[in-house]
């Protein structure tokens, strides 16, 4: 071999040889080598090659890449290899390497192990994008827009909009840390939806890889929920009739009447989309796949506290606030409202309450019914002087220290 190379004049360029002459000489030499079947496979920058590790030291790794001399992985390229992966490399092992330079100042071929793995990774994800396959990995980190998932040595990004339904509904909080930190380390199945090797852009989607539909998730969640239990949910939308709150991946309805004990004319007065709330499951319709929720069921009912001071048969003062065809509403102490049914206004038959009452009128009324479940108070005007309540009235007089009209307090 040495004789043949000597005969062909390899490495015998004169110091006075010009670059152009040198290139021509190199081309001529390569042509002669081809004719003799002795052509050398010279590595080219940007090329990925299979190599065999020739030696390993703390400062460099020598790799045989088929050329006359070994290539070297050193410096920053050596440091870029993860410690665990570097420790696993052995002499004689075949690895992929990326040619950074065909010759450095010392005449060495400069190689990169990590760049080769990266290029191999890009080839894999491009193949996945074309074929539509899925990848099972783990969440490695996050930023303000979504999750980071390692895939074939690359860092793929899963935007918040591309998270699966269950995971997306679990996103709560005002900061990235609050929203995503709890997901780090969790398994995730993703599909490649965008690859741009030049811009190093790799977009993944959990939603595209999921076979679970919103309906199937709701069916599964409904089976796991229990009426009467309390759950943490997130408001997903509001409408005139109520608000939808997602619990464990399924939306349930908090009707307008179940938002608060206080009067609410629109859900937006008390709730906003994205808000985290505690809800109680008050109804599950398995047939129609509907979940009824309540927020006010977890609050103290101020009505119950206000009505504690009243009892059936008691005389109270009320102000007429509304007249309807079926009766009149009167406001009592503590802003409680009771109904005087039309049949309880007068001993004689009337067609409408306005025949006997008018708005703003102050009257003495008798409580004839208290319904805690319906939060209703029944009042009567015609039973104010009823003899059936005479004993109760006298007891009330003694307690209040006042006398009935026309009677003197006993000494």
Q: Which residue has the tokens 């040619």?
A: 99
Q: What is the pLDDT of residues 74-115, one digit of tens each?
A: 888 888 888 888 888 999 999 889 898 888 777 788 998 888
Question: Which pairing describes strands 250-255 and 327-331: parallel, antiparallel, or unpaired?
Answer: unpaired
Q: What is the pLDDT of residues 4-44, one digit of tens each?
A: 443 333 344 444 445 445 455 555 555 554 554 444 567 88
Q: What is the pLDDT of residues 143-186, one digit of tens each?
A: 999 999 999 989 999 999 899 877 877 777 788 898 899 999 99
pLDDT for the residue numbered 211: 64
What's the pTM value of the predicted model, to 2 decimals?
0.46
Full set of structural domains in the chain with CATH: 2-36 (no CATH), 48-118 (2.40.50.140), 132-209 (2.40.50.140), 215-298 (2.40.50.140), 303-400 (2.40.50.140)
Residues pairing with 141 in the sheet: 148
pLDDT for the residue numbered 370: 93
Q: What's the whole-number average pLDDT of the chain?
A: 82
Q: What is the pLDDT of residues 271-309, one digit of tens each?
A: 998 888 999 999 998 888 889 999 999 998 888 888 888
Residues pairing with 283 in the sheet: 292
Q: Evaluate whether 193 touches 264 at the Cβ level (below 8 Å).
A: no
pLDDT for the residue numbered 208: 85
User: Number of C-alpha atoms within 13 angstroms, CB side, residue 85?
Assistant: 10
Q: What is the pLDDT of residues 350-400, one digit of tens each?
A: 999 999 999 999 999 999 999 988 889 999 999 998 766 666 665 665 555
């Amino acid at each position: 071999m040495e004789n043949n190379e000597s005969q062909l004049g390899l490495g015998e360029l004169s110091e006075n040889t010009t670059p152009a002459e040198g290139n021509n000489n190199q081309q001529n030499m390569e042509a002669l080598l081809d004719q003799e079947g002795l052509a050398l496979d010279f590595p080219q920058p940007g090329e990925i090659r299979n190599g065999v590790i020739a030696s390993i030291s703390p400062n460099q790794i020598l790799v045989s890449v088929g050329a006359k001399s070994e290539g070297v992985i050193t410096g920053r390229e050596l440091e870029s290899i993860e410690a665990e992966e570097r420790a696993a490399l052995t002499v004689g092992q075949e690895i992929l390497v990326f040619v950074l330079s065909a010759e450095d100042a010392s005449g060495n071929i400069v190689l990169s192990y990590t760049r080769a793995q990266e290029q191999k990774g890009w080839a894999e994800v491009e193949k996945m994008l074309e074929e539509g396959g899925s990848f099972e990995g783990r969440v490695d980190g996050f930023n303000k827009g979504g999750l980071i998932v390692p895939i074939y040595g690359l860092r793929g990004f899963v935007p918040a909009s591309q998270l699966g339904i269950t995971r997306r509904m679990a996103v709560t909080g005002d900061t990235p840390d609050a929203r995503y930190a709890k997901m780090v380390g969790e398994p995730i199945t993703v599909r490649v939806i965008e690859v741009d090797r030049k811009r190093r852009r790799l977009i993944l989607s959990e939603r595209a890889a999921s076979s679970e539909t919103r309906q199937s998730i709701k069916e599964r969640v409904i089976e796991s929920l229990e009426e009467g239990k309390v759950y943490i949910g997130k408001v997903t939308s509001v409408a005139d009739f109520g608000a939808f709150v997602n619990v464990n991946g399924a939306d349930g309805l908090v009707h307008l009447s179940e938002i608060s004990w206080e009067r609410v004319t629109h859900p937006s007065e008390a709730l906003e989309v994205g808000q985290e709330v505690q809800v109680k499951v008050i109804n599950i319709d398995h047939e129609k796949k509907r979940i009824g929720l309540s927020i006010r069921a977890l609050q103290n009912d101020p009505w119950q506290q206000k009505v504690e001071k009243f009892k059936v048969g008691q005389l109270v003062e009320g102000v007429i606030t509304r007249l309807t065809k079926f009766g009149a509403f009167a406001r009592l102490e503590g802003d409680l409202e009771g109904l005087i049914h039309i049949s309880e206004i007068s001993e004689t038959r009337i067609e409408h309450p306005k025949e006997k009452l008018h708005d703003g009128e102050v009257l003495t009324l008798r409580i004839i019914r208290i319904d805690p479940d319906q939060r209703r108070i029944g009042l009567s005007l015609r039973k104010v002087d009823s003899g059936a309540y005479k004993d109760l009235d006298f007891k009330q007089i003694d307690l209040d220290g006042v006398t009935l009209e026309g009677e003197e307090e006993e000494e």
